[in-house]
Amino acid sequence: MEETEHTCPRARPTVAAPAPFANETSCHCQAPHEKLTIAQARLGTPVDRPVRVYADGIFDLFHSGHARALMQAKNLFPNSYLLVGVCSDELTHKYKGFTVMDENERYEALRHCRYVDEVIRDAPWTLSAEFLEKHKIDFVAHDDIPYSSAGSDDVYKHIKEAGMFVPTQRTEGVSTSDIITRIVRDYDVYARRNLQRGYTAKELNVSFINEKKYRFQNQVDKMKEKVKNVEEKSKEFVYKVEEKSHDLIQKWEEKSREFIGNFLELFGPDGTWKQMFQERSGRMLQALSPRQSPSSSPTRERSPSPPFPWMSNRSSPPSSPKAASVSISSLSEGDEDEK
């Protein structure tokens, strides 16, 4: 029996380009698509082709929860090729509801996820045997919570019964519904922001009264922001003034202490000025009242007495002739003694 060439595409060697759509590259394998068990797939068999894993969804407002689910599907087996089916707007609006992103936006979002090898557009809501055979799907990956829709309690029930279902874990705390709930809850904030960015009230489906209200609130917010900036600048200015005042007061205190210290050193009880004053006072007292000469110092020679005592004072001659005779007699006696 002649062997048939196997031409199934393998996983992309690089993630530098977006994933292709199913009509651009599909499995052209002519050999029978042998059925695998989960145990065989986890052992890395078959060796001649990757295990083809399929994951589907709406993927509206593509977020990290979607990406983590696809990452788990990609890493279920050692050698896997991940196909992602995205439902069209028609099916989604019929069975689930209106979407934020249209189908083309959702297709493109999936193409740029690094874990996706191939994107299948207009994927069916319920997987049929013909669809599984057409895309050579080995296993279907989805979270294990029963997905009730289209009159069925679980649209993956027949996949689970066939042994082709592999569960993944949901990421708690993030979902498309949660994101939409945040937008609805903060609708006024987003409407005001988009009006400020240039969107019209008609584009945002905002009434005339609400438009004026939002624009007024934007003006109030701008004024509050200006007041806040002024307050911050004022606080900064006051802080700088306080800092400079503190420095000036500290310098003034240092200079004051230095001045007082110098003053006390000069004019204090034991200061320099008192010592100078005492030295000068002592010099002045010494100049005004000199000390007595010592007894051993030579005496000055006495000037000779006049021959007539009464002549020592010319202005006072003898008051009477009798006194004059007495003085002359005393003088003569003196001469006799000298002889």
pLDDT score of 331: 47
Cβ atoms of 62 and 179 within 8 Å: the answer is: no
Q: Which residue has the higher pLDDT, 271 or 53?
A: 53
- Measured CA to CA in angstroms, residue 319 lies from 205, 229, 306, 308, 322 at distances of 152, 119, 19, 15, 9
pLDDT score of 221: 81
pLDDT score of 336: 46
pLDDT score of 63: 95
pLDDT score of 257: 80
How many other β-carbons are positioned within 10 Å of the β-carbon of residue 26?
A: 17
What is the model's pTM?
A: 0.61
Give the sheet arrangement for strand 80-86, strand by strand: 118-121, 80-86, 51-57, 139-143, 165-168
Which pLDDT band, with edges at 50, 70 and 90, does 280 fall under? confident
**Whether the predicted pLDDT of 306 surpasses 60:** no
| Triad 221, 223, 226: Cα angle to 5° | 110
pLDDT score of 176: 93
pLDDT score of 117: 96
Which pLDDT band, with edges at 50, 70 and 90, does 335 fall under? very low
> How large a percentage of the chain has pLDDT more than 70?
75
**Whether the predicted pLDDT of 325 surpasses 60:** no
Which pLDDT band, with edges at 50, 70 and 90, does 85 fall under? very high
First to last CA, the chain: 197
Q: Quick one: how many helices (H) and strands (E) in the chain?
A: 11, 5
Which residue is associated with the tokens 């900064």?
236
Which pLDDT band, with edges at 50, 70 and 90, does 294 fall under? low
Which pLDDT band, with edges at 50, 70 and 90, does 320 fall under? low
Question: Residues 128-164: pLDDT tens digits?
Answer: 999 999 999 999 999 999 888 767 888 999 999 999 9
Q: Which domains does the chain have, with CATH numbers?
A: 38-168 (3.40.50.620), 176-276 (no CATH)
Q: How many CA atoms lie within 13 A of 85 on its CB side?
A: 21
**111 class by beta-carbon count within 10 Å (0-12 exposed, 13-18 middle, 19+ buried):** middle
The lowest-confidence range among 187-191, 232-236, 333-337 is 333-337
Q: Which residue has the higher pLDDT, 290 or 87?
A: 87
> How large a percentage of the chain has pLDDT more than 90?
37
Question: Residues 63-83: pLDDT tens digits?
Answer: 999 999 999 999 999 999 999
**Whether the predicted pLDDT of 28 surpasses 70:** no
